[in-house]
Amino acid sequence: MNIIIQQNCDGINWQDVADLLAFYGLSSLDAKMQELVFRNSYAVVFLLDQERIVGVGRALSDGVCQAAIYNIALAKHLHGQQYGRLIVDKLVEQVTQCNIILYTHPQTVEFYKNLGFEVMKTGMVRYQSDHLTEMRNMGFI
Ligand SMILES: CC(C)(COP(=O)(O)OP(=O)(O)OC[C@H]1O[C@@H](n2cnc3c(N)ncnc32)[C@H](O)[C@@H]1OP(=O)(O)O)[C@@H](O)C(=O)NCCC(=O)NCCS
């Protein structure tokens, strides 16, 4: 297996991205909208295996002092081999001077703690009304 790391949006198969994020319930946006959100992000990471997207992640940032990580996902057959850490590390490298925030599913809090993130005491969110019930039911709030 030869996993390639790509940190730009050139030639990305956006349907693969949409499928991977939808598989884990992380996003239901279609391929065209995924292209928009990744292109509008400050930092992106894609893992490719023979041109198939097997891992993704992105960060929003002002490029100076603040950043936020979103949409970390890895194909199931690659779990447990440090590729998730690799995606996050490659994003952190691109915003290394920033404070970095994120929020995650209750099941992956320990993953991010392992990577040096700490649970915030005063993090707050205003979800769109169509997300609110789902996020509450999944234990995000
Ligand atoms: C979360 C995810 C990216 C982790 O990827 P991964 O490649 O399996 O994780 P890694 O192998 O890089 O793990 C790094 C460390 O975190 C630990 N870890 C990984 N997943 C964990 C979890 N769910 N809970 C606790 N610890 C976890 C690993 O044991 C490893 O610890 P070590 O360095 O001491 O050995 C992957 O499971 C995934 O894509 N999940 C579905 C999508 C998702 O939930 N994304 C995050 C929400 S935004």
Which CATH number characterizes residue 67's domain? 3.40.630.30
The pLDDT averaged over each successive group of 10 residues in the chain (141 residues) is 95 98 96 98 97 97 98 98 98 98 95 97 95 92 92
pLDDT of residue 1: 76
Ligand 1 mutation pick, 108, 113, 115, max ligand atoms within 8 A of CB: 108
pLDDT of residue 30: 98
Residues 74 and 127 in one domain: no
* Cα 77 to middle of ligand 1, angstroms: 13
Q: Give me the number of domains the chain comprises.
A: 2
Residues 31 and 66 in one domain: yes
Q: Is residue 89 part of a domain?
A: yes
pTM of the shown model: 0.96
What DSSP letter does each residue of 53-121 carry, written as one string? EEEEEEEEE-SSSEEEEEEEEE-GGGTTTTHHHHHHHHHHHHTTTSEEE----GGGHHHHHHTT----S
